[in-house]
Structure 1
Amino acid sequence: MTASDKPSLTIRLCGPRGFCAGVDRAIQIVVLALKKYGAPVYVRHEIVHNRYVVEGLRERGAIFVEELDEIPPEHHKQPVIFSAHGVPKSVPQDAAARNLFYLDATCPLVSKVHKQAMLHQRRGRHVILVGHAGHPEVIGTMGQLPPDAVSLVETVEGAQSFSPEDPDNLGFVTQTTLSVEDTADIIKTLKDRFPNLTAPAAESICYATTNRQESVRAAAPGCDFFLVVGAPNSSNSKRLVEVALKAGADKSLLVQRAGEIPWSDIDAEPPQILGLSAGASAPEIIVDEIIDAFGERFDVTIELAETTVEDENFLVMRDLREVELTPADMAFVNGETGR
């Protein structure tokens, strides 16, 4: 089919999209550790929530485990890496008790939330964590504190029903990957009920989450369809789908690869304007894959919907800084090439 035979499609390509500095750093730590210490390198939990990235690291020699007792004794001298989402205090304590060598790839912005939560507690406040139950980041943040020192609030309804022992001594933090609008509603409800509620010293929702939501919010009006590249267990990716719908997209869908796109629905009702973004753990190569897939069916015009430019960079730990990566390694770390 020639370009003139294809229906026209404008793809509004959001920017920023894809890897954030924390994800880039975490992937880099695994690749650098494999270079320095050799395979296997163990990773507790998915280093980031993206199957494509995880499989690529597995092919390089990373072994993913959920708990430290899965690491065989003969490999206790090999490094184990904690994921970007952060871990409870009990995990490094357990690693030390097992004489494991560990590297902590927790995103520095998640670590800031941990510190803010602990500061609230040291100052005598009960900590409210706004977040999603069961998410690794929430488990890690709550695990910085004694169980009776922190309460999880997930919704406005939860904020309305929350009943603390001391309403005048409360502080809050939030998961870094929440919907900015939804979180503002929850916090407003809490502040209305508890006027002495203390905010963290810095915004908990991270810059990358905010920036990606702002770009989607700007691009979504008028879109017949909005695709977000991301994993089903990625909080920030799922929030982008919700933001697109609220901002005016007719339909919005989360996909991991081009093969998950519902082509029968699209062929039955071809869109004229397609929004496209990617969660903070989704590599750019999959965005390219999706654009190419639409290019086979449509005469595609790319329209950039860029709201800001990100230049954040988080350094890896000092022990890994002297290790050199090849251009191919760096392309993988940046999500620009295949595995």
Structure 2
Amino acid sequence: MHVIKRPAWALPESAATPEALAFGIDRRRLLAGTGAIAATALLPGAAAAQRIADAPDPTASLYPAGRNPAFTLDRPVTDEQVNLNYNNFYEFGSSKSVARAAQALKLRPWTIAIDGMVEKPFEIGIDDLLKQVSLEERLYRHRCVEAWSMAIPWTGFPMARLVEMAKPLGSAKYVRMETFKDPSVAPGQRQTWYPWPYVEGLTVAEATNDLAFLVTGAYGKPVAKQMGAPLRLAVPWKYGFKSIKSIVRFTFTDKQPKSYWEALQASEYGFWANVNPAVAHPRWSQASERVLGTDERRPTLLFNGYAEQVAGLYAGMEKERLWA
């Protein structure tokens, strides 16, 4: 997004001296040699070690998963290299070139908390979670509020399955999702003007819609770190900033969560963020989109082309600000 008003004293990230040059040492080797590896405790118990090790992915054999033919595209799939090198992941920087920085993210162990208005809060490791779900591949369009788009072969499972596992109370209306917070590996999280950790939210009805998809892979392999490993969300009828990355917590609540971008710039980014070509962003049109990889201009579709599946979610909500 292009909305950040940094204080006058703030240097751009590009001006920062690389750590290796500043200290003249390889920090990782130093830590390994002294045993002084520190990790930020994100959750109780096993999750306290979340950043300590980056063991080989034990789920690699689950990919490629079978493709669900119900989810097709009106355009070619975006080349994998384009997707791997054009990413919004502010935890690792405000440019699109965050792939290298994101490799510092440690993916094992990775524990996810399920809490709030549920029958019984619990924690589950990502590998144990994947043993309880069936993975499938879906072809989805991805539309950024910045007016560019991709077409992606995501692998994962319906978010409705996680909601079923969570057993929310009948009074729970929303799902609040939270990304990891660890400034020791995520340089963007050292920028105090951002409202860390990254938070997003859906209604329970949106979360249980068949299109809402929890992603664990892409392009027939575990999802890359810069794309939101090991667990991210894909809600293809909404602008891409709703598709939270690297999730560590799902909280069921009766209060509408304030999302990261809403907290940062509410006048431009709202809670619902459904795609609508007729409603411009305050600073640019949403009528068309640039397809990454080809630079083709395409007309933007209402609900990003998924109106048939999701428009009913918003019946009677004409007075709500449904668009970003």
Query: TM-score, with normalisation over the residues of structure 2?
Result: 0.25
**More helix per residue:** 1
Query: TM-score, with normalisation over the residues of structure 1?
Result: 0.24
Give the structure with higher Rg (CA). 1
Determine which structure has greater relative contact order: mean sequence separation of CA pairs < 8 Å that are 6+ residues apart, divided by chain length. Answer: 1
